[in-house]
Structure 1
Amino acid sequence: MTKVKGLIVTVIIAIIASTLGHFFPIIGSAIFAIIIGMVVGNLFHIPDSFQAGIQFSSKKVLHYSIIVLGFTLSFQSIGSVGWRSIPIIFITLILAFITVYILLKLLKIEENIGILIGVGTSICGGSAIAATSPVIRAKDNEVAFSISTVFLFNLIAVFIFPSVGHLLRMSQESFGYFSGTAINDTSSVIAAASIYGHTSLQTGAIVKLTRTLMIIPVVLFFAVRTMNKEKSKDSNVSIKQIFPWFILGFIVTSLISTLFNFPSHVMDVFHNISLFLISVAMAGIGLSVDVKQFKSTGFKPILLGLITWIVVILSSILTMWFIHLL
C-alpha cells in the first residue's frame, strides 16, 4: 500500500504522455512522460509518502516494460532482410562503442551518461537506455539526460535522412537499411522511412527490429562488467544480488514470441503495453530529477552523442557500400 500513491501519480502522467504521444508520434510518450514528470517534480513539493511508489515506477516498472518488450521481437519475423542487415548492425555497434570509449577519456564525461548515450545511439534509443540503466546503476538524472539527448538526434534524423537518401540516390530498399541501422528510435525510423516510400518502410521496420535484439548481448556484457566491478569492491556480493534477472525475462518472452509466431495485431498489443510501462517508468524518473543537475552536466555529452551518431551514420553507409547494398 505504501507504493500506491506514487504509482497512481506516475500512471496518470503516463496516460497524459501517451495521449500526447499519440498526436505527436515523432516526440513519443516516453519523452512527454519525462518532461511532465520533471515539470511536476520541480514546480511542486512531492510528499515523502509518494516516494516509494515513484521509485517503484522508475525501477521495477522499468524492468517489467523490458520483459514485455520481448514479446514484440520474433526471430521468425526477421527474415532475409534482417539477416542481411546484421553485418551493418555489428559494425556500427562496435564503432559506436569505440568512439564512446575514446570520447569519454578525451571529454572527461561521466561514464554512465556516455554508456547510455552510446547504447541509445547504436541500438534503439529509449528502449536500450531503459534496459541498460539498471544494469550500470545509472542515476535518474543520467537516464533523463541521455534519453533527451538521443531524442534530439531522433528528431533531426526524421528531417534530414530522406534528403541524404535522395542525395546518395538510394533505392527504397537501400534507404530502409540505412534508416534502420542509423536512426536511433523505432518511431523515428518509421517516420523517416515512410516519407521515402512503402518498400523503404517495410525494410526499415525489419532492420530496426533486428537491431533491437542487440539489447541482449549488450546488456549482458554490462551486467558482467558491473558484477566484476562490484565484486572487486565487496567480496561478499553475490551474483544473485546484482544479476539483471529482467533481461532473462526479456530473452524468455522473445523466445515465446518466436515459438508462437504471434500475428502482427497481437505484437502491437504487447508493443503498446511495453510503451505504456516505459512511460510510467519515465514519469517516475522525471519526478526524481532535479533540473539543476542538468545544468552541471554541460554540453559535452551532447557533443559525444553527436559525434557517435555521425560515426554510426558514416559506418552504416560505408558498410552498405562494401556489401553491395548501396
Structure 2
Amino acid sequence: MNRPSKFRTNKPRFGTAWVPGALFASAVALMAWLVHVIIPFIPLLTAAVMIGIICTQLPFARASITGVLAPGLKLVSRRFMRIGIVLLGFQLSLADVGRLGWKPIVGVIVVLVLTFIATLWIGKLFRLPGHEPLLIATGFSICGASAIGAMSGVIKAKDEETATPVALVTLCGTLAIAVLPMLWHPLNLDAIAYGKWVGASVHDVGQVVATAQVAGSAALAVAVVVKLTRVIALAPMVAIASAVVRRNSGGALDAGNRPPLVPLFVAGFIAAILIRSFASVPVPLLEAISTVQTGLLAIALVGLGTAVRLVELVLTGWRALIVALLSWTIIAVLAYFAVVIT
C-alpha cells in the first residue's frame, strides 16, 4: 500500500513545459526593448506590459497563450518577478535616500500611506472583487506592476485578479508621462520640485524617468531617488500582508501552504539594499545587475500582460477603472502638496 509522503506538496510541477512560454515572453520582452530604443519616450517595462496585453487579444495567438505557453508565462510572471525585485534592491542606497532630508522622506511616506488607505477604501466602496482593492492600492502607492506582482504572490491572488490592476497601473502611468509635463509650469514648480513631484506620484521607475527627464538632469536625479524611496516600502508592505494572511488562515492552511512571515524574495530585497548601502560594489557590476533586473522584470511583465482580457475589462471593469483614476488623482494631488510644504 502506497502511503502519501508527508513531504508531498500541491505545488505545480512544470517539468520542461515552461520552456515555450518563457521563450515567448523573452522574445516579446526583446521586442519591447526595440520599441524603447526606437521610441525612447516609451519606457521598456511599459512597452513589455502593453505588448503582452496586445498579444493575448489576437485570436490566432490566444489559443497558444492559454495552452502550450501558459505554464511558462505563469512561471515567469511569478519567479522572474521575484528575482527581479531582489535585484532591484541593488539600485537603492540608504545614503542617497538620506541626502533628501527628513522632510521629503516623511512627505513620501505620508503620501504613500494615505494613497494606499484611500485606494483600498475606495476599492471596497466600489465592491471590486477578491484581492483587486489591495492590489490596486499596492500598485498605485508603491511601484506599479512590480509591486502588484510581489503582493499577488504573497496573498495567492488569482491571475485574473492580478491582470486588471496591472493593466490599470500601466494605463495611468502612461497617462502620467503625457499629463504631468503639461502641468509643470502651470503649477509654478521649479525643476527640482517637479522632479520630487514626479518621483512621489508616478508608479513605475521607467515611467518616472520618462516623465521627469523633460525638466533636465537635476530633476531626473531627484525624481529617481524619491521614487526609489517609495520602493523601499515594498518590503514592509508585503511582509505585513504575509503576516495578515497567516493570521487569517488560522488552521485552514497547513504549514507548507501558509506564507512565511517574511517572504524569501523580500528578505533578498532587503539584503540587496544593505549590500548596496554598506559595501563597495563596483559600478560595472551594478550596471550588469541593473540590466539583468530590468530584463527579468520585462519578461515577467509580459507574462502578467498576457493575462489581461481587454473585452472583459471594458465590459465588467469600469468600476476598477474609476478606482484607478481616483487613486491616480489622489496620489498626484497629495504628492504636489507634500512637495510644496516640504
Distance change in 2, residues 1:228/1:205 (3 Å):
same
Distance change in 2, residues 1:171/1:244 (3 Å):
same
* 1:98 partnered with 2:129: no
The aligned counterpart of 2:156 is: 137
Q: Distance in 2 between matches of 1:11 and 1:130?
A: 18
State the one-letter code of the partner of 1:12.
A
Summarize the alignment of residues 48-63 of structure 1 with structure 2, pairs less than 5 Å apart.
48-63=67-82
* 1:6 partnered with 2:25: no
Q: Distance in 2 between matches of 1:187 and 1:241?
A: 31
Paired residue for 1:17, among 32, 35, 40? 32
CA RMSD after TM alignment:
2.6
Paired residue for 1:254, among 259, 267, 273? 273
Q: Distance in 2 between matches of 1:103 and 1:240?
A: 27
Summarize the alignment of residues 36-185 of structure 1 with structure 2, pairs less than 5 Å apart.
36-42=51-57, 43=59, 44=61, 45-46=63-64, 48-81=67-100, 83-185=102-204
1:259-281 Cα offsets, whole Å, 9 max, x none, are 22435554333222112111222
Distance change in 2, residues 1:178/1:72 (3 Å):
same
State the one-letter code of the partner of 1:195.
V
Distance change in 2, residues 1:91/1:256 (3 Å):
same
Q: Distance in 2 between matches of 1:162 and 1:36?
A: 25
Q: Give % identity.
A: 26
Conserved 8 A contact 2:235-2:270: yes
The aligned counterpart of 1:187 is: 206
Summarize the alignment of residues 258-277 of structure 1 with structure 2, pairs less than 5 Å apart.
258-262=277-281, 265-277=284-296
State the one-letter code of the partner of 2:248.
K
Q: Distance in 2 between matches of 1:142 and 1:25?
A: 31
CA drift at 1:291: 4.6
CA drift at 1:50: 4.0
Q: Which is further off, 230-239 or 146-155?
A: 230-239
Distance change in 2, residues 1:12/1:206 (3 Å):
same
SS at match of 1:184: coil
* 1:284 partnered with 2:303: yes
State the one-letter code of the partner of 1:57.
V
Pairs aligned (count): 323
Q: Distance in 2 between matches of 1:217 and 1:131?
A: 12
Q: Distance in 1 between matches of 2:257 and 2:69?
A: 31
CA drift at 1:213: 1.0
Q: Normalising by structure 2, report the TM-score.
A: 0.84
Q: Which is further off, 157-166 or 175-184?
A: 157-166
1:295-326 Cα offsets, whole Å, 9 max, x none, are 45421112111111222122222233333xxx
CA drift at 1:182: 1.4
SS at match of 1:108: coil
Q: Normalising by structure 1, report the TM-score.
A: 0.87
The aligned counterpart of 1:230 is: 249
Q: Distance in 1 between matches of 2:306 and 2:211?
A: 31
User: Which blocks of at least 5 consecutive residues in structure 1 are unaligned?
Assistant: none
Q: Distance in 2 between matches of 1:142 and 1:82?
A: 38
CA drift at 1:284: 2.5
Q: Which is further off, 90-99 or 2-11?
A: 2-11
The aligned counterpart of 2:229 is: 210
